[in-house]
Amino acid sequence: MIRRTFHITVPRFMSQVRVRFAPSPTGSTHIGTARTALFNWLYARKTGGKLVLRIEDTDKERNTDAALEELLNGLKWLGINWDEGPEIGGEVGPYFQSQRGDIYKEYLQKLLDAGRAYEKDGAIFFKLEGERYTEYDDYHKAEVEKVRTQPVVIEDVIRGNVTRREERDFVIVRSNGDPSFHFVNVVDDIAMGITHVLRGEDHLPNTSKHVELFNAFGVKPPVYAHMPMILKDPSQGKGKMSKRDRGALIEEYQQRDFLPEAVVNFIALLGWSPKDDQEVLTIDELIERFDIKDLQKAGARFDEKKMSHINFEHMKRLPIERYLPPAVSALSKAGLVDDSTDQAYLKQVLELCQQKINSFEDLPAFSAYFFSDTYAVDEKVEKKLLKRADAADRIQEVIPALESLDAFDAVTLERGIQELADSKELKIFAYFPLLRFAVSGVGGGPDLLPMLETLGRDTVVARLKKLQASLSPSA
RNA sequence: GCCCUGAUCGUCUAAUCGGUUAGGACGCCACUCUUUCAAGGUGGAGACGCGGGAUCGUAACCCGCUCAGGGUACCA
C-alpha cells in the first residue's frame, strides 16, 4: 500500500515545553482531574514552559456551564493558573473545542483526501492500514471487522515503551456531526503545538489510537506520560476513586475550609514523592522538586487521615494574619463571631487553637466556649470527673482562690493553683481537669493556663459557680 | 473473553551501578512533656505477593502464577 502524505503546519514555539490540561466539564471536579492539572502546571512552571487550558466540550449532552464554572473556580482556588485558555485567550485559540469546528473540518478533509477516513452509518471512521477480516468478538457478541495493523509503540516517560495494536476502525465524527474525543484531542495537540501529554493511566489504551492519528497526519507524537490512578481509600471499597467518595471533589475541600496549598501538597504526594524525606512542601518547593520521571507507576490509594495531617501542618505554619481569615470564615458560618467580635480577643483565641486543631471545619466546635456560654458538654468527661466525691470540694476551694489572685495571667494562675493544692496536700492535677471541664465542657483543648487567662477571670469564675450550683441541686 | 499497566509496612512512599539491621511519613500502640490536653518529644509493632531461574550475592534482572488497576462507546 502506498502511503499518501500531506503537509500539516505545526505551530512553532521555539523549543519550549507546551503542556495542556484538557478537561471536559461534565460534572464536579474530581481530585484526579485536579492532580492532572497540577502535574501539568508544575511541569510547565518547572521548565519555564506554557500550560494550555483546553476545554473538551464536544459532548453537548453532558457538558454544563455550572461544571465549567466550578472547574475554573477550583483551579484558581488551588493556585493553578494557565498561560493560554479560557478568559485569557492565546495565539492558537479558541480554547473551547465547541468553537473549533472549522479546524476539525480542515483536518478531517486531509484525512478524507488521503483515504484515511470514510463514512459509514452516518458517522465518519478513521481507517486503519492493513489486511481486513471479520471475526466473532466475545465482548461485543457479534461478528466485527478487524484489521491486521502494525503494532504501535507508545514512548512513555513513566512506563517506558508500551506496545499496542489497534484492530478496529474507530469513529472520528459522530453521526450527529460532532467530532469525537480521539480525533479532536489529537488535532488540537497538533494545532496547539503540545510537546508533552501528561494524563491519567486510563488514557493509555487510547493512546495507540492517538498515535495512529498522529502518524496519519505525518506528525511526530508528543512525549507521553501516563500517571497512576487515584484509588479509593481501602475502607471505602475497591477500584478508582469515584465522585461519590468522601474527599473526591475539590469543591468539598473548598467548603470544608481546607487550605489550598495543603490540598495541592497532598495530591502531589499521590503518585509522586520528593527524593528527600520532606513531605510538607510549599508550592515553590513543589515546583523546584517536581519531575515527571519521579512519578510512580502503581495506583495510589487516597488517605483521608494523611490529607488531614498535611492540612494541619500547613495550618500550623501559617502566620496568624493568614490564619485569621479562614478561621473567621469558619467561625462566622457557625454563628460564633461577627463584626462586633473583639479583634484582639479573637486573635488571642486563635493563637491558642492554631497549634492544636487540624482543620478549620472543626474549629467552631473546638472553640465555641470562647465565644458563647452555650456549648456542648461532653457527658463522658462530665461523668468521669463529677462522680468523684471530692469534685464539689475542689470547685468550692478553687473559686475563692481564683477570685483572690492579684492578676489573672498564666503564671499567676499556675502559682495560685499550686499554692492551693499544696495547702490541701493535693497535686495540681486535682484541679486542672475540673477547671477545664467547668469552662469548656470538654476534656481537651488548648493549654489550660493560657486558655483561662484568655477567657478572663469573670467568665472562668462564673462558669465554675454555675457548675458548682448544678452539683448541689438540693442546696 | 481479549488488550494494556502495575505489585516494598494497613496507607503514601525511599533505597545512585544488584551487596542496607530495607529508610521516612500518615495511622496505630506505649512512654513522656515544670502531673489538663486532641499539640510537641521519645520509643515500639509493622513490608520487599507466590514459585522458579540467571548471579558469589539481589527488593532490584528474566519467566510463570497470583492479585490489583485500567480499557475494550457514535463518553471523555
Neighbours of A251 (CB within 10 A): 15
pTM to 2 decimal places: 0.92
Question: Grid coordinates representing A472?
Answer: 448541689
Cβ neighbours, 10 Å, residue A422: 11
Among A7-16, A351-360, A385-394, whose mean pLDDT is lowest?
A7-16
CA–CA distance, A290 with A468 (Å, rounded to integer) = 59
Residue bearing the bigger pLDDT, A259 or A393: A259
B14 C1' to A272 CA distance, Å: 11
Q: How confident is the model at residue A9 (pLDDT cuts 50, 70, 90)?
A: low
User: Chain B: nucleotides under 7 Å from a protein CB?
Assistant: 1-8, 10-15, 23-27, 35-39, 68-76
Find, among A282, A246, A284, the residue nearest to A265 by Cα: A282
| A238 Cβ within 7 A of any nucleic strand B atom | yes
Rounded to an integer, the average pLDDT of A252-277 is: 93
- The Cα-based distances of A225 to A172, A195, A258 in angstroms read 24, 11, 29
**Largest Cα span, chain A:** 106
Rounded mean pLDDT, A110-139: 93
CA gap A108, A44 in Å, rounded: 30
Q: What is the pLDDT of residues A322-375, one digit of tens each?
A: 999 999 999 998 889 988 888 999 999 999 999 889 899 999 989 999 998 888
* CB of A40 within 7 Å of some strand B atom: no
Rounded distance in angstroms from the CA atom of residue A113 to the C1' atom of nucleotide B33: 79
Which nucleotide lies at the shortest CA–C1' distance from A296? Answer: B13
Count H helices and E strands in chain A, helices first.
Answer: 18, 13
| Strand B and A160 CB separated by under 7 Å | yes
Residue count (chain A)? 475
Q: Which ipTM did the prediction report? A: 0.93
Mean pLDDT of A304-320: 94
**Protein residue minimizing CA–C1' distance to B3:** A164
Q: Which run of H or E residues covers position A146?
A: strand A142-148
Q: What share of chain A is helix, strand, coil (3-state, %, to 5)?
A: 45, 15, 40
CA distance A247 to A230: 12
- What pLDDT does A3 receive? 47
Residue A43 in this model has a pLDDT that exceeds 90: yes
